[in-house]
Each structure stands twice: as structure tokens, then as C-alpha cells.
Amino acid sequence: MKKKGRITKLLGGFYYVAAEDGEVYETRARGIFRHQNRKPVVGDYVELLIDEGDRLNSVEEILPRKNSLLRPPVANVDQILLFIPTANPKYNLYLVDKMLAYYEQKNVSVVPVVSKQDMDPEEADRLRTLYEGCGYRVMGLSEADEESVNRLREMLYEKTTVLSGVSGSGKTTFLNRILNLDLETGTVSEKTNRGKHTTRHTEIFTGEKGMYLFDTPGFSSIEIDSIASVDLDVHFRDFVPFIQDCKFLDCRHVKEPGCAVREAYESGDLASSRYENYLRFYEELVEKENGKWR
């Protein structure tokens, strides 16, 4: 018997599919997907074969995706909340800007969330100013501030949302609060000031008014080599207003004369962290493309 449903969890090689009949089925993916270099991910809408004998149910087909991400590995996403903690662990703008460039490439709506803002209100204000200046809608979040929680809650209705960010940034605490769950939350290493992983798999949770929420494992690094170095600038949305004024159409905004992006940086119209991170990313991508990292 064939049914359609959505993958809600991947754990230990098993896919858990919420079917249209309201049941959740434990399944395996067909071996043919490996030969086709395809892999089902959480959030996929699929067709599954329900075996009424002793054999395991199987995912037979992956239905067309609206979009898909590799970090985290999910599909059919409406928006991403990127958690940026002010402290415990403190944010890393190099990593934040890499994530933003990656999500811009995927053409998914991303909302920076300044979490733990009560721990360092001044840093929270600086982060908000920085990313609002880049053209993002920035939200704040404090566990003790019910109003900040409710503002974010309202953004989740009728949407599939990914909670993204480093371990310990407050993703699971927020999920627990919104859905009245009791999932284990992250702690922070005193030695490294990095969050310790507690979410070990990707899972989608449902809530009121059409909420679908992904809780995903935290990350400490990411590669963006799916972006060509020549296209990197358009994934920095704060660069876009200046790019058209560069002297050369193929300006890479490094040392070229008449570069409007560099002029904006030097005049303070572009945040220094954003431009300097762009240069680092550009250099990394060029080195990879030239085979120096092979």
C-alpha cells in the first residue's frame, strides 16, 4: 500500500514519516537513491510503501522540493531563524556572515535573532544595529522576556522554520518554550566557551496554527564553496546598492580602482566586519577554485 507523507525525523538510519492518515511510520530509504546520488532529508514530502507483512516500510519517492539546505540538511523551508548569542557562548561574526551568505545563496528568508540579549544589552544593541544596517529584519530574544518570545512566536504561524546557530545559542530552549517540550538543552564549555552539542539529530516538530519547527544540531564551522568566488558579492545584501557604481563590471572589490564597495567601507557606509569577512571568504574560495586546498 502506498501513502504520502512528510519526513519528520532521521535517527539511526531510519526515517520517520508522518503520513496523510495521521500515522507515523518508521521507514528505510530505497537503495536506488544512493545510486542516483539522492538522499531523503527531514522536511521532504515523500511517497512511501507500507508493507503489511514482515518487511520494513520504505521511502519510494522524494516529491519535488521547494528548496533544500545542507547545513542543516533539511528541505521545504520557509524561513530560518539564525540565533546569534551575545554571550555564553559569545557570537563569532566570521561564522555568522558565512551562514548568512550561504542562506542568501539558497534564497531562503533568514532572520537574525540576537539571543541571550539580557546577558549583554550593549552587545545586543550593536548586533541589532549591524545587521539591520545590512538590510535584515533583526529580532531580539531573552528567556525571561515574555514579549520577545511572543514576537518570535507570531512569526512561526503557517510556516516551516529552521532554528539555526551554534550550540548553546538558545535554539532548544526557545523550542521548549514555544511547544511546551522538555528537550535537553546545551551547556557551554568553560575551557573553550563553545556550546556542547545536545541536539544530535534533525527533527521537525509541529505546533499551533500550522507551525513546523526544525531543531537542528549546532555547528562550529561551515564551508560555502557551493558559491563561486565571482558571485560572492551578491550574497552580501549590504553590498548590492554599491556594486552597480563600481568602475568595472567584473569588480571583485579587492584592489580594483573605482570600486564603490571599497569606497563605502572606507567611508564607513559599510560595516568593517562585513567587508573584512567578505575578503576572507573571497580569498578562501579563490584558493579552493585554484586547487590549492585539494
Q: Please, how many CA atoms are within 13 Å of residue 101, restricted to the half-sphere of its CB?
A: 30
Residue 45 predicted with pLDDT over 90: yes
pLDDT in tens, 49-63: 998 766 789 999 999
139: cell is: 529580532
* Segment 189-210 mean pLDDT: 63
Q: Are strands 14-19 and 203-207 parallel, antiparallel or unpaired?
A: unpaired
pLDDT of residue 220: 65
Q: Is the CA virtual torsion 275, 276, 278, 283 positive or negative?
A: positive
pLDDT of residue 293: 46
* Segment 242-250 mean pLDDT: 97
pLDDT of residue 70: 82
Query: Is there a contact between 238 and 130 (Cβ–Cβ < 8 Å)?
Result: no
Residue 156 predicted with pLDDT over 80: yes
pLDDT in tens, 206-219: 899 999 998 777 66
Residue whose C-alpha cell reads 507483512 in the numeric block: 53
Computed over every residue of the chain, the mean pLDDT equals 89
pLDDT in tens, 77-95: 999 999 999 998 889 999 9
pLDDT of residue 259: 98
Say whether pTM exceeds 0.95. no
pLDDT of residue 72: 73
pLDDT of residue 292: 58
Cα gap 98→101, rounded to integer Å:
5
The answer to which of 113-117, 154-158, 199-203 has the lowest mean pLDDT is 199-203
pLDDT of residue 192: 37
User: With pLDDT > 70 as the criterion, what percentage of the chain qualifies?
Assistant: 91
Cα gap 235→280, rounded to integer Å:
14
pLDDT of residue 190: 40
Q: Which of 9-13, 140-144, 195-199, 247-251 ranks highest by mean pLDDT?
A: 247-251
* Segment 254-275 mean pLDDT: 97
Residue 189 predicted with pLDDT over 60: no
Q: Between these two residues, 196 and 98, which has the higher pLDDT value?
A: 98
* Segment 130-137 mean pLDDT: 97
